[in-house]
Structure 1
Amino acid sequence: MQNTQIVVLGASNKAHRYSYKAIKMLLEYGHHVLPVHPKIENIEGLVVKHHLSQILSPVDTLTLYIGPKRISPLIDDIVKLNPSRVILNPGTESDELELALLHHEIPFVKDCTLLMLEHGRF
């Protein structure tokens, strides 16, 4: 899935955060990355979107880096985004989101984006 559009929800500009590491690795693997964070302006030279509703083009993968409490108010926006798949990274699992994704027939996996990339499963 090279050159695919990947949205990183819960993006961070802090090098120790997994979402930051994911952005770096996705870029290294040739993907088009759209980071989403409500306050950050730029990460690794990428313009950060502040809301999922700002993304108007098709999304191949939405990879989540926010906890279940923060996911809950974003479920409608995630469904409207209609990504081809959602990756629920460790710590982001949400029964409420999973039910919504199943209801709207949006595929999801419970996995780690970094390990998926590293092991050729992305």
Structure 2
Amino acid sequence: MLITQNDTALRNLLTSAHVIAVVGHSDRPYRTSYQIAAYLRRVGYKVYPVNPEISSVDGEICYPSLADVPEPIDIVNVFRRSEFLADVVEQAAKVKAKAVWAQLGVESKAAVTAAEVAHLPLIMDACIKVVHRNLIG
């Protein structure tokens, strides 16, 4: 179910979440995925980098897939192109993630359908850092 415009649901998700997997996490500090993940760590979330192309980020293991993340995932934060979002939603459902959050510019009708089938909350085209700052502080 799409919850991008529901501030109450977004606030509840952000305050109840502890573990965030960042799909498409970069090891380059100038990339947005790196910067957003750093912010999420600073505000107290446990962040797992997920990217099959790199082995580590700042000395932390970078996992090749969501299935490899060693603990339950609350939010899957997606830094991939829109055409890959439905597949990420399906992977998130398989690992029983609690929600999928696609960053600015990432939207997909197929992902909405996949999220509805999986009864998985989906946020699209929204920066988790901006929303966190606006709703949580």
TM-score under structure 1 length normalisation: 0.87
Partner of 1:91: 105
The one-letter code sitting in structure 1 at the alignment partner of 2:94 is K
The one of 53, 58, 69 equivalent to 2:72 is: 58
Gaps of 5+ in 2: 1-14
Q: CA deviation at 1:121?
A: 4.4
SS in 2 for 1:119: helix
Partner of 2:40: 26
Q: How does 1:1-122 map to 2 (within 5 A)?
A: 1=15, 4-110=18-124, 111-121=126-136
Gaps of 5+ in 1: none
The one-letter code sitting in structure 2 at the alignment partner of 1:26 is L
Q: CA deviation at 1:102?
A: 1.1
The one-letter code sitting in structure 2 at the alignment partner of 1:58 is P
SS in 1 for 2:135: coil
Q: CA deviation at 1:119?
A: 2.1
Q: CA deviation at 1:72?
A: 4.5
Cα distance between partner residues in 1 of 2:40 and 2:69:
18
Cα distance between partner residues in 2 of 1:109 and 1:43:
25
Q: CA deviation at 1:20?
A: 0.5
Task: State the Cα deviation string for residues 20-68 of structure 1 (Å, max 9, x = none).
Answer: 1111001101110011001211113321001122125221111110002
Which structure has more RCO (C-alpha within 8 Å, separation ≥ 6)?
2
Number of aligned residue pairs: 122
SS in 2 for 1:92: coil
